[in-house]
Amino acid sequence: MKKMILNSIADVALVVANVGTGINCIGFLYTPKFPKIKK
């Protein structure tokens, strides 16, 4: 059972990481339209 729980946690972490990278990609695509937002 412990292995299954660890695997599910790893899967959730991968999904969260994928969503995070997707948001970052969208942010990079939109930033050129708004140069003032860039640091």
Cβ atoms of 38 and 31 within 8 Å: the answer is yes
As a dihedral over the C-alpha atoms of residue 22, residue 25, residue 31, residue 32, rounded to 10 degrees, the angle is -150
User: pLDDT digits over 1-39, tens only?
Assistant: 788 888 999 999 999 998 888 888 777 777 766 666 555
pTM over 0.75: no
Cβ atoms of 7 and 14 within 8 Å: the answer is no
pLDDT of residue 12: 92
For the chain, which residues make up each domain, given as ranges? 1-38
Residue with tokens 């059972």: 1
Cβ atoms of 14 and 22 within 8 Å: the answer is no
